[in-house]
Amino acid sequence: MPGSVIPAIIAARMRRYKEVFYAANALSPATAVRLADKGLRESLVFHKLVRQGILVAVGDGRFYLDEVRDEAVMHNKRKFLAVLVIISLGLLIIGIISAWKG
């Protein structure tokens, strides 16, 4: 159980950062905001979003949400999960057939 809780907490915190930037309309360099002004802080989750290019620094401690990059990252995650599910189902079917024949 604890192993499944941590990714859920990280995902929720990432979503929170993105929601705050979206609500502040910080979606371009011109509308970038400072974290402290929005009640946020630099955390591991924040730095992950920056590394992924979802939150982009524009200088002077201001950042904005790159919606295009966010969608691309989410699309890749969904694709990876779909492939993982297909592989798991394939292995399950092979296991069932092996058990049935054996």
pLDDT band at 2 (very low <50, low <70, confident <90, very high): low
Please give the model's pTM, rounded to 2 decimal places.
0.78
pLDDT average, residue stretch 47-54? 96
First to last CA, the chain: 34
Q: Which CATH architecture has domain 2-101?
A: Orthogonal Bundle (1.10)
Structure confidence at residue 18 (pLDDT):
96
Q: What is the DSSP string of 13-81?
A: HHHHHHHHHHHTT--SGGG-EETGGGT----HHHHHHHHTTSEEEEETTEEEE-HHHHHHHHHHHHHHH
Q: Where are the domains of the chain?
A: 2-101
Structure confidence at residue 5 (pLDDT):
84
Average pLDDT, rounded, for the chain: 93
pLDDT band at 4 (very low <50, low <70, confident <90, very high): confident
Contact 35, 46 (CB under 8 A): yes
What gap in Å lies between CA 8 and CA 1, rounded to an integer?
A: 11
User: 69: exposed, middle or buried (C-beta count within 10 Å: 0-12, 13-18, 19+)?
Assistant: middle
